[in-house]
Amino acid sequence: MENSPVAHNLSKRFVAGSGLEQALEVSRKLNREGIAVTLDVLGESVTTLDEAARARDAYLRTLGAVHEAGIEGNVSLKLTQFGLDLSPQGCRANVEQLVRRAAELGGFVRVDMESSDYTSRTLDLVTALHAQYGVVGTVIQAYLHRSRQDVENLCRLGIRVRLCKGAYLEPHSVAFAKKAEVDRNYVELMRILLDTGAYPAIATHDEKMIAATKAHAALRKVPRDGFEFQMLYGIRRDLQRQLVAEGYRLRLYVPFGEAWYPYYMRRLAERPANVFFILRNLFRR
């Protein structure tokens, strides 16, 4: 699949190449269009601590290259890629090394959220590193029942939050089952973030959620540079251009690396709705 011309053309739509230089070139182009980036080095769920160390080093190179190139961007990582399932202490050491370097460079590290099995461990690690370095944030998924309390705690601590709906298949005991419930909670959490959060990131391609965010920001007189919208690279480019033209800040989540095929398959396997989301956007301009 990774060597197939058809699959390669598919991956180009959503993945910024297999190497760092390709990702930097995509980032430069997006910056010229007034769009910031967050770079993600593909390769999750490592099986050895050596693999976790290689992931850490790849992120350190990426962070340094972004700084050296003067790109408006940061990096985003998953704790399983840094060894969380193998050694919590080793994972923390790997992430701390990256966060420390980001603090030295004036950068920022976003720790992605994975399934609900990892939520508490992720928030504990982010909270500890933020208290020490300040340049680390996380992600909250609106479909989890616990997310309101998590958002309120993170806002109180001044930790930056990316708000998304959530992409993993979760049991009803921990997550809302209906789309309407997720949407309602998303709007409630978005309002809390705009009212009390530290430079919140509203991550959505849903035009209803975007409209609700614009309306609440206007009502509360939140300046357009006081928060940002976030979207995936290759998804809804028409909407991306519209937001930039309206003066809103926009950041794209830009994955790159050799492991694009497992990335795709994992996203599709995690939740059936992801398949339809990708297919819809293949045929949108």
Q: Is 112 a catalytic residue?
A: yes
Distance CA 216, CA 190 (A): 9
Q: Are 179 and 147 a contacting pair, CB within 8 Å?
A: no
Choice among 56, 101, 110, 162 that is catalytic: 162
CA distances (Å), origin 219, targets 222, 228, 265: 8, 16, 41
Task: Quickly count: other Cβ atoms within 10 Å of residue 184's Cβ.
Answer: 13
Q: Is 162 a catalytic residue?
A: yes
Structure tokens that stand for 37 in this block: 């980036």
Tell me which residue has tokens 């599709």.
268
Provide the annotated active-site residues. Answer: 112, 162
